[in-house]
Structure 1
């Protein structure tokens, strides 16, 4: 069964950087069987209804400003898998989750910046999925769980977001790690490794510095979605964690 993953996408410029985290992403395909297709939830695509992105060839969305000019020339012209998109819609329907298919929207930087590091050739079909910040954490987990069987079909499921993501607290000149960010991520690690869903669903009340780490939840949701796909075996493994600008976490979780 193909593992599923959560990748922090950091700042859009991550695709240009060379560090331990980007090296992990660049070497990912060397240690992972080539998937038949990729299904990716991005924190930067929010919709009230669960939306399935299945553009014939995805355009590249530059949903950011003030970064290096090189980023605005990058493209990731992945094609989709229409039959997989239809299968996902059927899986959702069986669980009473209403969904719609969008054949026009491109890939935002939460999707293409990660994918360009993982599979720069853009030669694997992609189906993009939106997130909804107004669902409960348990509902997010259940959406991921709905897609579990895709892992048996060599489909790679990715959640792209960030566990500590507070742009107002970034320290642009910092070389150290803010203790509050590390404490939140350490709490999160202990609950993920124990597969303590009750605590995770109530992280805002239970986790230290949750308000600082997760001021808005759209970047945290993809972690719960990816975790839900691993409900059958309930094995979580931290593959990497580092920080930029004092507290912007770059983490990778694998779910079996």
Structure 2
């Protein structure tokens, strides 16, 4: 069964960087069986009704400003898979989740920056999925759970976001790690590895420094979505964790 993953996408410039985290992403395809397709939830696509991106060929969305000129020349012209997008919609319907197909929207940087590091040739069909910050954390988990059986069909499920993501607290010159960020991620690691969904669904009330780490939930949601897709076996593994700018977490979680 194909594992599912959560990848932090950091700043848009991550696709140009060379560090331990980007090296991990670049080697991913060598260490993981090639999937038949990729289903990816991005923190940067928010809709109140679950949307399923199914463009024939995805355009590249530059949803950021002030970064290197090279970023605005990059493209990721992945194709979608109409049959798979229909299957995703049917699985959502089976679990009582309303959804709509969107054949026009391209891939935002939460999607393409990660995918360009993982699979630079853009030769694997992609289904892009939105997130909805107005649902409960349990509902987020259930959305991921609804797609879990896709893993048996060699479909790679990815949540792209960030566990500690507070742009107002970034220190662009920092070489260290803020203690509050580590404390939040340590709590999170404990609850993920023990698959303590009761605590995770209440993370904003229970986790230390949750308000600082997750001032808004859209970047955290993809973690719950990816985790939910691993509900059948309930095994979580921290593959990597590092930080940029004092507290921006770059983490990878694997769910088997």
Q: TM-score range by the shorter chain?
A: over 0.9
Tell me what 1:97 maps to: 97
- Give 3-state SS (helix, strand or coil) of 1:27's partner: helix
Name the residue aligned to 2:8: 8
- Which digits, 9 at most, give the CA deviation of each residue in 1:34-89, with x for residues without a partner? 00000000000000000000000000000000000000000000000100000000
How far the C-alpha of 1:129 sits from its partner, in A, is: 0.2
Matched residue of 1:6: which SS? strand
Q: How does the TM-score come out when normalised to structure 1?
A: 1.00
**Matching residue of 1:27:** 27
Determine the structure 2 residue equivalent to 1:178. 178
Following superposition, the deviation at residue 115 of structure 1 comes to 0.1
**CA shift for structure 1 position 146:** 0.2
1:41 aligns with 2:56: no
Matching residue of 2:235: 235
Aligned to 2:113: 113
- Between the aligned partners of 1:232 and 1:7, the Cα distance in structure 2 is 20
CA distance in 1, matches of 2:77, 2:102: 16
Give the CA deviation at 1:252: 0.1
Distance 1:43 1:51 in 2: 13
Instruction: Return the alpha-carbon distance in structure 1 between the equivalents of residues 88 and 172 of structure 2.
Output: 40
* SS of corresponding position for 2:144: helix
The normalised TM-score by structure 2 is 1.00
CA drift of 1:165 comes to 0.1
Q: CA offsets per residue over residues 206-256 of structure 1, 9 Å max, x none?
A: 000000000000000000000000001000000000000000000000000
C-alpha distance in 2 between matches for 1:36 and 1:59 = 21
Structure 1: tracts of 5 or more residues without a match: none
1:124-172 superposed Cα distances (whole Å, 9 cap, x missing partner): 0000000000000000000000001100000000000000000000011
Residue 109 of structure 1, CA deviation: 0.0
Deviation, 1:23, is 0.2
Aligned-partner Cα distance in 2 for 1:141–1:72? 34
Match of 1:136 in 2: 136
Partner-residue secondary structure (3-state), 1:195: coil
After TM superposition, list the pairs within 5 Å mapping 1:83-94 onto structure 2. 83-94=83-94
Q: C-alpha distance in 2, partners of 1:20/1:173?
A: 18
SS in 2 for 1:217: coil
| Structure 1 residue matching 2:243: 3-state secondary structure | strand
